[in-house]
A and B are shown apart, each in its own frame.
Chain A
Amino acid sequence: MSSLCRTLGRPTLADIALVCAADAVVGATFGAVAVAGGLPAWLPIAMSVLVFAGGAQIAAVGVLVAGGGALAAVATGLALNTRLLPYSLAVSDVLDTGRWWTRLLGAHLVVDESVAFALRQDDARRRRAAYWLTGVSLFVCWNAAVVLGALIAGTLGNPDTFGLDAVFPAVMVALILPALAGDRRLRTAAVLGALLAVAATPVLPAGLPLLLAPVALVAVLRKGSGDSVPEPEPEPEPEPEPADR
Chain B
Amino acid sequence: MNSATVLALLAVGTYALRLAGPVFHRRLQLSERTTRLLGALATVLLAALAATAALTQGHHLADWERPGGVLIGVTLAARRMPLPVVVIGTAATTALLRLLFVP
Nearest opposing residue in chain A for B51, CB measure? A194
Given known A-B contacts A170-B90, A214-B44, A92 and B21 have beta carbons under 8 A apart: yes
Q: Which residues of A contact B62 (CB under 8 A)?
A: 165
B35-51 CB mask vs A (1 if < 8 Å, else 0) is 11111111111111111
Interface-side segment among A1-9, A70-78, A138-146, A147-155:
A70-78
User: Is the CB–CB distance between A96 and B25 below 8 Å?
Assistant: yes
Q: Which residues of B contact A225 (CB under 8 A)?
A: none
Interface size class of A (residues with CB under 8 A): 35 or more
Candidate in B26, B82, B83, B91 with the most chain A CB atoms within 10 angstroms: B83
User: Is the CB–CB distance between A70 and B17 below 8 Å?
Assistant: no
Q: Which of B15, B39, B52 contacts A197, CB < 8 Å?
A: B52
Given known A-B contacts A119-B39, A170-B74, A60 and B93 have beta carbons under 8 A apart: no
Main secondary structure of the interface of B (DSSP, over half): helix
B57-74 CB mask vs A (1 if < 8 Å, else 0) is 011101001111110011
Nearest opposing residue in chain A for B66, CB measure? A166
Candidate in B46, B66, B67 with the most chain A CB atoms within 10 angstroms: B46
User: Is the CB–CB distance between A177 and B77 below 8 Å?
Assistant: yes
Main secondary structure of the interface of A (DSSP, over half): helix
Nearest opposing residue in chain B for A57, CB measure? B10
User: Is the CB–CB distance between A213 and B5 below 8 Å?
Assistant: no
Nearest opposing residue in chain B for A207, CB measure? B52
Q: Which of A47, A171, A194 contacts B48, CB < 8 Å?
A: A194
Given known A-B contacts A96-B26, A162-B95, A190-B43, A84 and B14 have beta carbons under 8 A apart: yes
A39→B6 CA distance, assembly (Å): 13
User: Is the CB–CB distance between B55 and A198 below 8 Å?
Assistant: yes
Q: Which residues of B contact A18 (CB under 8 A)?
A: 83-84, 87
Give residues in B with beta carbon < 8 Å to A: 1-3, 5-7, 9-11, 13-15, 17-22, 24-26, 30, 33, 35-56, 58-60, 62, 65-70, 73-74, 77-78, 80, 82-84, 86-87, 90-98
Beyond the given pairs A50-B11, A189-B44, 17 more chain A to chain B contacts, judged by CB atoms under 8 angstroms and listed by A's residue number, are A11-B82, A39-B3, A70-B6, A77-B13, A85-B17, A87-B45, A90-B21, A92-B30, A112-B49, A119-B42, A162-B91, A163-B93, A170-B69, A170-B77, A177-B78, A186-B43, A190-B44
